[in-house]
Chains A and B, each alone.
Chain A
């Protein structure tokens, strides 16, 4: 073939790729699900929430500028600080990680998209709806006002808090669902969607962090969802989980909140550090020194961060021995955190550092973060914390940690990766102004807070008396906050207006070594031109021909002949190609489902229970329609040639399929939420001398034995029938599959009914005592899972009848059986706990 023929062929390929991956014009643009669009929307939205929460902070600082100020009323001030914390953590810090990862991860992995693009889109719409709902409440003077951690009993009394607490609980639960969806997407993306040859020892460090943080979200967020369920039941139905008069305990909420809340600090910190791990090698001009040490730090921090939650509760009167364990773990976490910083310093020392804006922000963040880390070591010591707790010292500490550890690296990342997203750099000259305004403003604002705190100024007060040594410190803080804000405004101006006037940078403007810089900029919608085989951690430095070969479409998946969106699935450890995955294209379904389910959450906050239920069910039905048209699609042929003579299957099921992994990971998160509820049960056991409490007959209360035992038997039957269904399907019997599905569904519904009848007939009143309530919650949780399982069975039945689920095309049944394993374990545990504990007592 001549050179011209080659060129014509390449152009035809590019045209096909462009057509397949293009977003639709006009209003249908909003049906896009591709990571390049969703990632940008996600980033812009979370940045907007950051600006909103920043304005709230400025209002607070204006109020505190002088003593006895009356700019904000006490009520509005309470709403402002609650919403500031809530929005910064839930609507900015965590989502921006998901946003940046959705945007960047496919480029780093040389993938066309993440494995579940519609799930990303669904997560985005959930986030947008939930975020606007929570933030919008302040304009109606109805925002939550009891602090971002919502401690009961202040918040459990609906008369005291109005609707704000419901808005917080339901709005944020909804967003947490989106976070878990993103975690599933990102974990599967890192493990299964790497380019061929990218073994686990060659992944970009960012991917390591994403993997760890995704895992942390699965263990950290579900306890809060469990806590939200208990909390909302107390507020809406008067189930006394946190009411000591009826056997509850407000501390249980603090435990569940901080089991989420402390790891969350690391959930926001690690991804930002991950950006530094990408930036520093580029500007040091050499590979990172101590790749394995970074992995140690990421994994180690991920684990240790779960042993820190009680350090937020040092003053609650827990026994000193408990404080001791958490204090020790809080000191231990400084080791892996320090390791990362030393790795960065070593890389900078070993290379020749080119000073640039991203590096300026990176060094600034190290300086700030180290100060925050040192005060962290101070407050991790319980006796010091007793003095500093709830004072401005803690405000200073947490802002040094979060702004040094999260925000400044994020800005470094924004300057570094802006060319990747837009094809243009931000202004270097303005950037220096931005940095120095932010750096100076930050220190002027927050350094004095250490002293206001040590002088005794408590957090969350709307004003303070004059002449007790706080006046000028507060004034300085306020001035600093506005200087800092000026930096942020300048940055925003540059992103929105300034950048339009600048020229395109061309490919790889920073001379980076990792895969995200391989494409021309601005990158086309389809991302990488062809998916190469990678043989180095820094392929652009070590494989000089690679960029040209990729651009000429000489590698895999250089074409889209069938007009389908495709990406590669590879093995977890060695990156061996396993499958050519067809990913679904643009659709409004994720948005519609998010709107329906969001409406049902919002309706519940306003006590429209029945309409919420109907809308919620419509949302569930919508999800099924979406799955029907977008997942487990039967390809026109078994396998396809992806280039270079490599043939890969188009459809794989069971443990090889990405859907199976997603189900497994989702259910892992689900089990964490369930484990938190069981933790609640045993928590009540530890605080009561007599547990379960005695009934009228003088015996421990409980749901009895007969009905729970029957429920368990029926559940075992339903579970067994699902195994049979899978086996019959594999044996080629469609009738066997359908009969087993139907019998399993009947058994499951009967089991759920027996489960709920048990406490009912035993006369357990959930409003009487926390014990009765937690038994009901455990049984309801399990019954709900069985009902969900039945919905999935109905879906499989319909797929089988429609010829979309057969012996060869069996993704659906395999994934549903996996769900049933988890449902079975949930049922077994629940029944064992609720029946055996009263027996043993």
Chain B
């Protein structure tokens, strides 16, 4: 529904970039949480020192891969939005009661969302390069 290229902009294409962000976020969080939990993280049922030094190095390639895919998808979404918005030749506010302006508005808003999602994906990926074990 959301991850699809289309000729005409609609509400689904508007939601595409932030949805990719959300999937990337979930991916990073779940992979990291599961890695740390399964590699002998903190168990709640038995006494333990409370910290796990399990290394996260094996986890980094996953984040790199996931982030690359997410950024590529957002770039595709941005390119599509650029096309919908009229290749930057049409200035906002896109407020006329015409199908063209509706299309341009949706394209422009999607383009802005792509930029936000792009930056946010990078934000989310950063901790994986700064924190190297499960402490």
Contacts of B50 in A (CB 8 A): 317
Q: Is B131 an interface position by the 8 A CB rule?
A: yes
Task: Report Cα–Cα, A324/B95, bound state, in Å.
Answer: 41
Contact of A686 among B18, B38, B126 (CB under 8 A): B38
Tell me the minimal C-beta distance from A303 to chain B in angstroms.
4
Q: Is B128 an interface position by the 8 A CB rule?
A: yes
From 303 to 342 in chain A, residues with beta carbon under 8 angstroms from any chain B beta carbon are 303-304, 306-307, 317-322, 324-329, 331-332, 335-336
* Interchain CB contact under 8 A, A319 and B134: yes
* Interchain CB contact under 8 A, A325 and B28: yes
* Interchain CB contact under 8 A, A320 and B106: no
Q: Is B3 an interface position by the 8 A CB rule?
A: no
Number of A-B contacts (CB under 8 A): 143
From 9 to 40 in chain B, residues with beta carbon under 8 angstroms from any chain A beta carbon are 10-11, 14-15, 18-19, 21-22, 25, 28-29, 32-34, 36-38
Chain A 565-581 interface 0/1 with B at a Cβ cutoff of 8 Å (1 = within): 00000001110000000
* Interchain CB contact under 8 A, A687 and B44: yes
* Interchain CB contact under 8 A, A303 and B18: yes
Q: Is A689 an interface position by the 8 A CB rule?
A: yes
Q: Is A287 an interface position by the 8 A CB rule?
A: yes
Residue on A nearest B120 in the bound complex, by CB: A332
Residue on B nearest A244 in the bound complex, by CB: B44
Q: Is B112 an interface position by the 8 A CB rule?
A: yes
* Interchain CB contact under 8 A, B116 and A321: no
> Would A244 and B45 be within 8 Å (CB), given that A295-B109, A300-B116 are in contact?
yes
Total B residues in contact with A, Cβ cutoff 8 Å: 54
Task: Report Cα–Cα, A500/B94, bound state, in Å.
Answer: 43
Task: Report Cα–Cα, A249/B134, bound state, in Å.
Answer: 20
Contact of B116 among A307, A322, A336, A534 (CB under 8 A): A336
Residue on B nearest A199 in the bound complex, by CB: B102
Chain A 26-66 interface 0/1 with B at a Cβ cutoff of 8 Å (1 = within): 00000000000000000000000000000000000000000
Residue on B nearest A300 in the bound complex, by CB: B116
* Interchain CB contact under 8 A, A304 and B32: no
Q: Is A73 an interface position by the 8 A CB rule?
A: no
* Chain B interface SS verdict (over half): helix
Residue on A nearest B93 in the bound complex, by CB: A291
Beyond contacts A199-B102, A319-B52: 10 other A-B pairs, Cβ-Cβ < 8 A, are A251-B44, A287-B95, A299-B14, A304-B120, A319-B32, A324-B130, A325-B28, A329-B124, A536-B97, A689-B43
From 268 to 309 in chain A, residues with beta carbon under 8 angstroms from any chain B beta carbon are 287, 290-293, 295-296, 299-300, 302-304, 306-307
Contact of A249 among B41, B44, B109, B119 (CB under 8 A): B44
* Interchain CB contact under 8 A, A201 and B116: no
5 contacts between A and B (CB under 8 A): A244-B44, A291-B94, A322-B33, A573-B11, A686-B33
Q: Is B99 an interface position by the 8 A CB rule?
A: yes
Task: Report Cα–Cα, A839/B19, bound state, in Å.
Answer: 33
* Interchain CB contact under 8 A, A293 and B41: no
Task: Report Cα–Cα, A689/B43, bound state, in Å.
Answer: 9
Contacts of B11 in A (CB 8 A): 200, 572-573
Task: Report Cα–Cα, A326/B36, bound state, in Å.
Answer: 16
Tell me the minimal C-beta distance from A263 to chain B in angstroms.
12
Contact of A574 among B59, B102, B104 (CB under 8 A): B102
* Interchain CB contact under 8 A, A303 and B22: yes
From 174 to 212 in chain A, residues with beta carbon under 8 angstroms from any chain B beta carbon are 197, 199-202
Tell me the minimal C-beta distance from B13 to chain A in angstroms.
11
Q: Is B75 an interface position by the 8 A CB rule?
A: no
* Interchain CB contact under 8 A, A247 and B45: yes
Contacts of A687 in B (CB 8 A): 37, 43-44
> Would A293 and B112 be within 8 Å (CB), given that A200-B106, A573-B10, A573-B102 are in contact?
yes
Contacts of A327 in B (CB 8 A): 127
Contacts of A321 in B (CB 8 A): 32, 36, 56, 59, 127-128, 131, 134
Task: Report Cα–Cα, A300/B19, bound state, in Å.
Answer: 10
* Interchain CB contact under 8 A, A292 and B112: yes
Residue on B nearest A533 in the bound complex, by CB: B97
Q: Is B71 an interface position by the 8 A CB rule?
A: no
* Interchain CB contact under 8 A, B37 and A686: yes
Q: Is A639 an interface position by the 8 A CB rule?
A: no
Task: Report Cα–Cα, A574/B41, bound state, in Å.
Answer: 53
Contacts of A424 in B (CB 8 A): none
Task: Report Cα–Cα, A335/B113, bound state, in Å.
Answer: 11
From 757 to 795 in chain A, residues with beta carbon under 8 angstroms from any chain B beta carbon are none
* Interchain CB contact under 8 A, B105 and A200: yes
Q: Is A537 an interface position by the 8 A CB rule?
A: yes
* Interchain CB contact under 8 A, B99 and A574: yes
* Interchain CB contact under 8 A, A201 and B94: yes
Contacts of B42 in A (CB 8 A): 317
Residue on A nearest B36 in the bound complex, by CB: A319
> Would A300 and B113 be within 8 Å (CB), given that A247-B45, A322-B29, A573-B10 are in contact?
yes
Tell me the minimal C-beta distance from B96 to chain A in angstroms.
8
> Would A292 and B92 be within 8 Å (CB), given that A303-B22, A319-B36, A574-B102 are in contact?
yes
> Would A307 and B124 be within 8 Å (CB), given that A572-B11, A686-B37 are in contact?
yes
